[in-house]
A and B are shown apart, each in its own frame.
Chain A
Amino acid sequence: MTRDGTRTEVSKMEEGREEQARERARGLLVSGEVQAVLGLRGRRGQVVPYLFSRPEELQDLTLSGIYPLAKVVLRLLGRWEDGRLAVIARGCDERHFVELEKKNAVDTSRVELIGVACAEEEARECGCSRPYPRRVDAGRPLEEADFLDRGELEELLSMKISERRRYWTEVLSRCIKCYGCRNSCPLCNCVDCRLEESRWVRVGEIPPEYPSFHLIRAFHLADKCVDCGACQRACPMHIPIRRLHRLLGEELKRLFGYRAGEDAGEVSPLLSELEEGPLFPGLEEEVTRAVEAAGREVDVIEL
């Protein structure tokens, strides 16, 4: 779904995709492997998340729309004593579940993913670098597709520090503290969210203090963000917040070869024990070089 709500026009070839998804969902429901299927339901012009519990309801299942369903799953599993559910999962949804599994936030034995490959129009719309899940039940995965605009990231990084600071000050100053970015992110599920602690974020101040509000979130998500874009879609002030998360994600990839959402067994490089040695091998030299290049002196504190 585009920013103004119009549905992305998907080519004719993708129309069979919905039926494939329905078939898989029906099979899982009828066999009793799952008690319900979470997906999007299209009715009376509205496309919304819905828990299908009867096979007949599946005729309203639609793939034309996007929503971070992992967010709903967290809530469902919390209130549902036992029972398994199937979830319509695009590439980004599957990456959400990988990260949630790393945090032990989801009992993945209760969740069955129905893999949906995104159409080219959808992948382009989202600027996605991997528009398909591991297992694809519906659609054809665009294996070579990578629509992530690295050009814009490079453009940002090529700006002088003072220009970059001016850019981020301007865009982040639009923030009305709606918490939409945080609320729509499936990886943002801390019981005690730092953004609601007055020690870090002053109550009643709009815009929130630059740059702490957005940087707190960006750093907390640095090793978890899977670039689904839900935060960007939720921002009423058109803040290019996804760019910030992408920049950090690219840094982690560059420094540690780590990408969130790929492998549930992969441990984030930001989690390690200091006894094993320096937290980020090579980082000290890197930082020194960068700071000296900016014309400042470096003070290294040996711990």
Chain B
Amino acid sequence: MNYKAVPSVCPYCGCGCGLYLEVMDGHLVGTFPSPTHPISRGSLCIKGWSAYEFVESEARLTRPLWKRGANLEPTDWNTVLYFVAERLKAIRDRYGPRSIGFLSSAKCTNEENYVFMKFARSVVGTNNIDHCARLCHAPTVAGLAYAFGSGAMTNSVPELEEASCILVIGSNTTENHPHDRLADHQRPGERSLRHSRGPSAHPFGQLRGPLYPAAPGYRCGPRERDDERDHPGGVARPRVYPLPDGEPRGPPG
């Protein structure tokens, strides 16, 4: 019988919380948060706590399934790999290498994407390769670069605690990126607010009216007395105003 806890990182969202994988006799039996992780500091959401479950789940596929008609028939790797290789070769020979497109994923490892790219360019002979970041991260890189001068996260996670106002647009932060550092922003009178048409207005205050993400020139105003009237229940929410000219501002300097 042996038991150990192996340090790792949660495979789910961008918070990247540190956790430990509990291994008993070679089997993954649980996870628990790592209190010494500098970013997550012992926090973990339900996804992280359950991250071990799928690894040895009985619901996992163990053999490739070949669709014949309406049925998915279990088969073996040699058969399917041979079939795929033959068909790709035939399509390339008949229609040319550019007839084949390759779509990968940002969820894959760098190594997997490298092999995929090598396969597309060197083996098949096409540049038609892309992945999901084209839709998602690429536009935000451009937008952030224009607005803040850098296409990546422009602050460190610990700096979230020092923010005097946090504006969350189009995100259900509570469920998507549950960082413990944002927990302190949720007390009444705190300065977090969120604009979304999503179902959970909680735990952040809800902005009223439409917010146009293309105009990053909004600024946060101080808490006002008539917030009490607008938001009964004693939870104050700051107002947000568009800047006078309403035009987006470029990076400073």
CB distance from A73 to the nearest CB of B (A): 10
Q: List, in ascending order, chain B residues with CB within 8 A of A46's CB.
A: 7, 34, 36
CB distance from B249 to the nearest CB of A (A): 34
Q: Is B146 an interface residue (CB 8 A)?
A: no
By the criterion CB–CB under 8 Å, are B1 and A83 in contact? yes
Chain B residue at minimal CB-CB distance from A66: B35
Q: List, in ascending order, chain B residues with CB within 8 A of A295's CB.
A: none
How distant is the Cα of A261 from the Cα of B49 in the complex, in angstroms? 27
By the criterion CB–CB under 8 Å, are A179 and B49 in contact? yes
How distant is the Cα of A38 from the Cα of B4 in the complex, in angstroms? 10
How distant is the Cα of A166 from the Cα of B235 in the complex, in angstroms? 11
Question: B188-202 toward A: CB 8 Å interface, digit per residue (1/0)?
Answer: 100000000000101
Q: List, in ascending order, chain A residues with CB within 8 A of B168's CB.
A: none
By the criterion CB–CB under 8 Å, are A51 and B3 in contact? yes
By the criterion CB–CB under 8 Å, are B49 and A180 in contact? yes
By the criterion CB–CB under 8 Å, are A79 and B36 in contact? no
Known interface pairs A5-B35, A5-B42, A48-B7; A236-B178 also in contact (CB < 8 Å): yes
Q: List, in ascending order, chain A residues with CB within 8 A of B48's CB.
A: 178
Question: Number of contact residues on B: which range applies?
Answer: 35 or more
How distant is the Cα of A76 from the Cα of B179 in the complex, in angstroms? 31
By the criterion CB–CB under 8 Å, are A75 and B24 in contact? yes
Question: B174-196 toward A: CB 8 Å interface, digit per residue (1/0)?
Answer: 11001110011011100000000
Choice from B37, B42, B174, B187 contacting A233 with Cβ under 8 Å: B42
Shortest Cβ-Cβ A-B pairs, 6 listed: A236-B43, A5-B36, A48-B5, A51-B3, A236-B180, A237-B183
6 interchain pairs (CB within 8 A)?
Answer: A1-B35, A46-B7, A48-B4, A53-B1, A75-B22, A174-B203
Given contacts A5-B36, A48-B7, A179-B46, 18 further A-B contacts (CB under 8 A): A3-B41, A5-B35, A5-B41, A48-B5, A49-B5, A53-B2, A75-B29, A76-B1, A173-B186, A174-B183, A176-B178, A178-B44, A178-B45, A178-B49, A180-B49, A207-B203, A237-B178, A238-B183
